[in-house]
Amino acid sequence: MKPLISSLFISKNAEELPLLRQFCAEQHIAFHAQSLLQFEGIPFAIQHPFEIVFFSSIRAAAYFLAQSAVGHAVIACVGQKTADKLNTLGYTPTFVGHQSGNPSQVALDFCSFAGQRRTLIPCSDISARTIAKALPADQVEEVVVYRTNAKSVYVPACDVYVFTSPSSVDAFLQQNEKPLGQIIAWGDTTAARLHELGIGVSKVLKTASEEEVVEVLRGN
């Protein structure tokens, strides 16, 4: 993917993307970074004891840890970015998914790791539930710790669009036409939503990171 690029949109806020922002500045690419979602923590109650807590995102970890503790449970998470954030908070994950852009593979790997241990999964109210559905129902408890709301935002036409979640795609379409540029999906679930809507996808990220976006833009 090495055509000349003059503008890029990504559905995350700029302060979350220092590397991508720097790359765009160096390459004279107009950088449009805007989250299309708003989040709010909500009260929750845990019904059953758990031996593992699985965090599917940095946000799920933050909202859960603001209200609860992991106790003696083993910590697992979807990928390295979430693991890095947990480390800064003083928590060391035992299980870290290797391809956060491919949650189905992470789910398979996690099932092997979990065995028969009871797992708690803090999540959003619109979670795709990929990990939970891979485990026996009597072995997992999901607890909704935050709510996701769409923000209707106008986005100027760009050469490249990077969508970071299925809900970001839906929020984008509330005020914008279907994008006509090159489309990068943050992972498989985002790609699936784009395909459902008849939007072609140029690249699906495996690690779902800004580093990988830069690699794609460089043509690596």
pLDDT of 1 = 43
41-77: per-residue pLDDT in tens? 999 999 999 999 999 999 999 999 999 999 999 999 9
pLDDT of 220 = 54
7-36+151-218 and 39-148: same fold? yes
Is pLDDT at 3 greater than 80 in this prediction?
A: no
Q: What does CATH list as the number for 39-148?
A: 3.40.50.10090
Is pLDDT at 142 greater than 60 in this prediction?
A: yes
Domain ranges of the chain: 7-36+151-218, 39-148
The answer to whether 187 touches 204, Cβ cutoff 8 Å, is yes
End-to-end CA distance of the chain: 8
Amino acid identity of residue 217, one-letter, is: L
| Chain mean position to CA 47 | 26
Q: What does CATH list as the number for 7-36+151-218?
A: 3.40.50.10090
pLDDT of 13 = 95
- Give pTM, 2 decimals: 0.82
Is residue 93 within a helix (H) or strand (E), and if so which, with residue range?
none
22-43: per-residue pLDDT in tens? 999 999 999 999 999 999 999 9
Is pLDDT at 135 greater than 50 in this prediction?
A: yes
Checking 20-24 for CB contacts under 8 A at 24+ apart, the result is: 20/210, 20/213, 20/214, 23/214, 23/217
pLDDT band for 207, please (50, 70, 90 cuts).
confident
